Amino acid sequence: MRPVIGVISDVKARDGHVVHGVTEKYIYAVARGAQAMPVLIPGTISAVDSAMAPERIVVDEILAAVDALFLPGSPSNVGPHHYGDLPHDPPLPADPHRDDISLPLIRAALERGVPLFGVCRGFQEMNVALGGTLFQKLYEQPGRFDHREDSSLDIEGQYSPAHGVALTEGGLLASLAGDTTWRVNSLHGQGVATLAPGVAVEATAGDGTIEAFRVPDSPGFNMAIQWHPEWRFWEDRLSSGIFTAFGAAARLAAERRRGGGRLKATG
């Protein structure tokens, strides 16, 4: 049996309904790149009938059901109140129902050694969950590049390599790449302002923007990446290596869980 990787969903209003979903490229990368069974995890389930109370998914229940967790990218942003900032005026796209489950789930997964991989918004969620802060508009910061995609290009052009990153010597990404430099795509408007304590930088852009980090003291595989390795991962050695390593960690976790060796949930 393939390991089960829970994929955090976005929560959006559409045509009078509330939709929980994930862009297919992320699901495909988990299924084929990590060789795992992707299972979508909803955010807070808001009531169709306003007289009903919202249904909250319990962290312990999620961690009892999956072998690993994947935090995909999204057009939405982490609510700034989670890192002590005021909303930008006008407010930027947000998804409080996703924040409601992703932030506590990140902390619990890292504490218990559940394999965890965050991309783009997932990268930002991991930084915030661990006590870091974000620039709400990275492109307005002096000396920083504009890391957003060129909207005049087609989708392939938007996801093409945009700039180089320096991979930390001796880090996991450098070992997977077999090099200390790499070209990556870039499709994000926000970025790390203050890096969370206790994390190790894995990649940095030429303007000093942190592009990847991991939590070395967590007992399981974990990685946070600001660019989009899920995009045609099979065409890029580093991207395919990341998903292969993530899948291997999920399979090891599955073997331990099915063999009765998984840590008991707490809290």
What is the per-residue DSSP string for 12-72?
EEETTEEEEE--HHHHHIIIIIS--EEEEE---B--SSTTSPPBPPPHHHHHHH-SEEEE-
| Per-residue pLDDT at 170 | 97
Look at the pTM and tell me if it is higher than 0.85: yes
Distance between CA atoms of residues 117 and 192, nearest Å? 17
| Per-residue pLDDT at 257 | 87
HEC string of 132-165 equals CEEECCHHHCCCCCCCCCCCCCCHHHHCCCCEEE
| Per-residue pLDDT at 75 | 95
Distance between CA atoms of residues 9 and 12, nearest Å? 10
Q: What's the gap between Cα 229 and its chain centre?
A: 11
Verify whether residue 156 is a known catalytic residue.
no
Q: What's the gap between Cα 202 and its chain centre?
A: 15
| Per-residue pLDDT at 67 | 98
| Per-residue pLDDT at 1 | 87
| Per-residue pLDDT at 47 | 63
Catalytic residue, candidates 20, 97, 120, 149: 120
Verify whether residue 228 is a known catalytic residue.
yes
Q: Which residues contact 144 (CB under 8 A, 6 or more apart)?
A: 135, 138, 191, 207, 208, 209
Distance between CA atoms of residues 94 and 12, nearest Å? 10
Amino acid type, 258: R
| Per-residue pLDDT at 263 | 45
Which single residue is written with the structure tokens 């495909």?
28
| Per-residue pLDDT at 50 | 59
Identify the burial level of 203 via C-beta atoms within 10 angstroms of its C-beta, where 0-12 means exposed, 13-18 middle and 19 or more buried: buried
Catalytic residue, candidates 125, 149, 202, 230: 230
Residues in the chain, pLDDT under 50: 261-267
Catalytic residue, candidates 20, 97, 188, 228: 228
Q: Provide the mean pLDDT of the chain.
A: 93
Verify whether residue 82 is a known catalytic residue.
no
Judged by DSSP in three states, 251 sits in helix
